[in-house]
Chains A and B, each alone.
Chain A
C-alpha cells in the first residue's frame, strides 16, 4: 500500500498533502469519493492510509448517505467529488439537516477559470448556490498557500460544530484541464 504514496511525484503540489494531514488530525475514517483528476493525489494517499477506508462510489449521493451511516456508527468521514457531482447529491443533502451530522465535502471545481469544456460550465456555475440553498456553508480556496487554513477551518466547523461545510477547490488552484488531440 505504501508504494502508492511513494509513487506521488516530487513535483506534485503540496496542498493535497496538507489536506490529508488535516483529515488525519480530525480522525477521519471513511472517505467516499467519485474520482476527479484534482483529487487524484489525495485519493492515492487515502488508499495508502491504514486508518482510512476509501469508498469509491457510483454516484456522489451515495457518499452523503454513507457518511450519515458512518456518523451513526461513530466514525467521521469526508466526501470527495467534482463540482458536476454536487447536483447528483441534492435530495440526499437533506440528511445534513435531518441528522445534524458533521458533514464535510471537498469539491474540485470545473466550469470556471479557463474551462475548455462547455458542458462543465452550468453545474460549475451553480455549485456554490446549490450548496447554500441546501443549508451547507461554502468556503473556497483558490491559491495553494491558503488551502491548509481553509480546509482546517472547514473541518473544524464541520466536526466541532456540526456545521455542514463544503470546500470548493478552485480550478485556478488545480489548473484547467488540458484537452489535446
Chain B
C-alpha cells in the first residue's frame, strides 16, 4: 500500500546516480538492485541477487581496495538489518570513500510486504551514528537528495550513511544481469584488472 509524501525509489536512485562519475555502485538484493539497473546499466554496477546482509561488506572491501574511487552501497532496510553489524565494522575502518544509502520502505517487499523492524522501533540512522559513522542522516525530500548526491563523490570525508524513507509500492522489476562472474569480471575490467 502506498503512503503519501514518501519518495519514489526510482527517482531517488536516478538522482543519486545521475552524476556518478567513476563511482562503483553496489546494490543490495531485490528492489535496490532493480533500482540501480533502472538508472542505467553500467560496468561499475555490482548487482546482488543474494548474499543478504553482505552489501555493505562488499562495499567496504571495494572501498579499501580502491580508496581513490567513490563507492556507493544502495540497499534496503531488510538487507541492512541482516548485516547490521557491518556498520560497526565500517565505523572502525572509516573508509573515507564509502557511502551507504538505505532505501527504507519499512517492509520486506520481495516476500509479500511483511513489516520490518524500521516500521516500528529500529532507527538505522541512530545505529549508524552509534557505530562511529559521524555523517549519518535521514533524507526526506527530493531537494535534499539532489543536494546530497555530489557529496558521494568526495573520497576524503566519508564514511557516510543516509536513510531515505521511500514509498513501499512494488514497482516493475528491472532485471540486471544475475551472473556474478560476469558482474565482477566486468568491474575488474573497468578498473584495469584482468582474469587470473
A-side residues, CB < 8 A to B, are 29-30, 53, 55-59, 61-75, 77, 91-92, 94-95, 98-102, 159-162
- Which listed segment binds A: B55-63, B120-128, B166-174? B55-63
Contact B65 A75 (CB under 8 A): yes
Known: A55-B93, A71-B184, A72-B46. A66 touches B196 (CB 8 A): no
Contact A162 B196 (CB under 8 A): yes
- If over half of A's interface residues share one DSSP class (helix, strand or loop), that class is named, otherwise mixed; here it is helix
Our pick among A58, A62, A74 for the contact of B193 (Cβ within 8 Å) is: A74
Q: Which of B64, B85, B93, B183 has the most CB atoms of chain A within a 10 A radius of its CB?
A: B64
Once bound together, how far apart are the Cα atoms of A77 and B66, in whole Å?
14
- B50 sits at the interface (CB 8 A): yes
Contact A73 B89 (CB under 8 A): no
Chain A nearest CB: distance from B80 CB in Å? Answer: 13
Contact B191 A74 (CB under 8 A): yes
Known: A56-B89, A94-B51, A102-B196. A68 touches B65 (CB 8 A): no
In the bound complex, residues from chain A placing their C-beta under 8 Å from that of B62 are: 69-70, 72-73
In the bound complex, residues from chain A placing their C-beta under 8 Å from that of B181 are: 98-100
Contact B191 A95 (CB under 8 A): no
